[in-house]
Amino acid sequence: MEKKEFKRIIKEIGFSSQGKFAEEIGVKATTFTTYKVIPSHIRRITKLALLAKKSGVPLEEIRNSLKVD
């Protein structure tokens, strides 16, 4: 996932910044500044968050159901 797409998705999900999204998923906010391409583990969480938003199910509920830390 390109960083531009990542930024678009987190805005669509409702996060005001990469830092707020990082806080939600438990990574350092500065992590995203070093990426040119978003790694697969972050991409999966981002897509889960988008799915949660579109389906009206809280991200935490999806994460718990899938046993994602």
Give the mean pLDDT of the chain: 84
Cα 40 to the center of its chain, rounded Å: 11
Residue 52 scores a pLDDT above 80: yes
Residue 44: Cβ-neighbour burial (10 angstroms; 0-12, 13-18, 19+): middle
The two structure tokens encoding residue 8:
């678009």
| Conformational region of residue 28, where left means phi above 0, alpha means psi within -120 to 50, and beta covers everything else | beta
Tell me what the mean pLDDT of segment 39-48 comes to.
86
Model confidence band, residue 55 (pLDDT cutoffs 50, 70, 90): confident
pLDDT tens, position by position, 14-33: 899 888 888 888 888 787 77
| pLDDT at res. 68 | 63
